[in-house]
């Protein structure tokens, strides 16, 4: 079986595919020049799209984690589920607080390298806290710990989504 050959244009003819491709377009500046905002325009833009602080996100994670822990304790009538759930909240929030302090604190130096270092330290602390969980919380309810851990981690996305929706409505 032979494969069909594509027909090539003869001489100076252009193929259908070449008609859409024009090298001369590369030299044109497609984007209009960026004009700086005035002070009033910048303030109006900031007021229209308020930013959310990392401290607000951590507070939301803490409150949600405590609420989940109370629900675990109340619905299961098991104190170990309550403590395991509270420990999971601490596993997420405490390293997050330390990282936020390191990245956004008073004497913090900003940069991608610093952010990476703090993220690695945060993940290491999370792993260490999870490894210590059976010694710290006895008896440990793994289901309560892991479910709460996942839920508290997902709060970040929910908080950012709610904040975005709030900005779109105003």
What is the rounded distance in angstroms from the CA atom of residue 16 to the CA atom of residue 5?
16
Residue 64 buriedness (CB in 10 A; 0-12 / 13-18 / 19+): buried
Task: Give this prediction's pTM.
Answer: 0.70
Please state, in angstroms and rounded to a whole number, the distance separating the CA atoms of residues 135 and 3. 69
The span from the CA of 3 to the CA of 45, in Å, is 59
Report d(CA 68, CA 164) in Å as an integer: 24
Question: Which residue, among 156, 52, 150, 151, has the nearest Cα to 104 in the 3D structure?
Answer: 52
Most distant CA atoms of the chain, gap in Å: 85
pLDDT given for residue 21 in this prediction: 57
Mean of pLDDT values over 88-93: 97
User: What does the block give as tokens for 33?
Assistant: 């020049």
Short-list 133, 154, 165, 149, CA closest to 49: 165
Residues 74-89, mean pLDDT to the nearest whole number? 94
Taking a C-beta distance cutoff of 8 angstroms, is the pair 170, 48 a contact?
yes
Q: What was the pLDDT predicted at 88? A: 97
The separation between CA 49 and the C-alpha centre of its own chain, rounded to angstroms, equals 18
Residues 88 and 64: beta-carbon distance below 8 Å: no
Summarised one tens digit per residue, pLDDT across range 113-168 is 888 999 999 999 999 999 999 999 999 999 999 999 999 999 988 888 887 776 66
């Amino acid at each position: 079986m032979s494969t069909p050959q594509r027909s090539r244009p003869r001489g100076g003819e252009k193929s259908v595919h070449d008609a859409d491709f024009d090298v001369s377009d590369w030299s044109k500046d497609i984007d209009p020049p960026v004009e700086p905002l005035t002070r009033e325009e910048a303030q109006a833009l900031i007021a229209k799209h308020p930013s959310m602080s990392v401290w607000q996100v951590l507070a939301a994670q803490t409150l949600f984690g405590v609420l989940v822990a109370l629900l675990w304790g109340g619905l299961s009538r098991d104190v170990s589920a309550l403590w395991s759930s509270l420990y999971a909240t601490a596993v997420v929030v405490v390293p997050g607080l330390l990282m936020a302090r390191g990245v956004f604190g008073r004497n913090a130096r900003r940069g991608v390298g610093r952010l990476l270092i703090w993220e690695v330290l945060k993940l290491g602390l999370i792993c260490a806290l999870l490894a210590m969980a059976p010694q710290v919380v006895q008896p440990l309810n793994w289901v309560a710990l892991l479910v709460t851990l996942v839920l508290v981690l997902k709060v970040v996305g929910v908080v950012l989504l709610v904040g975005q929706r709030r900005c779109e409505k105003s």
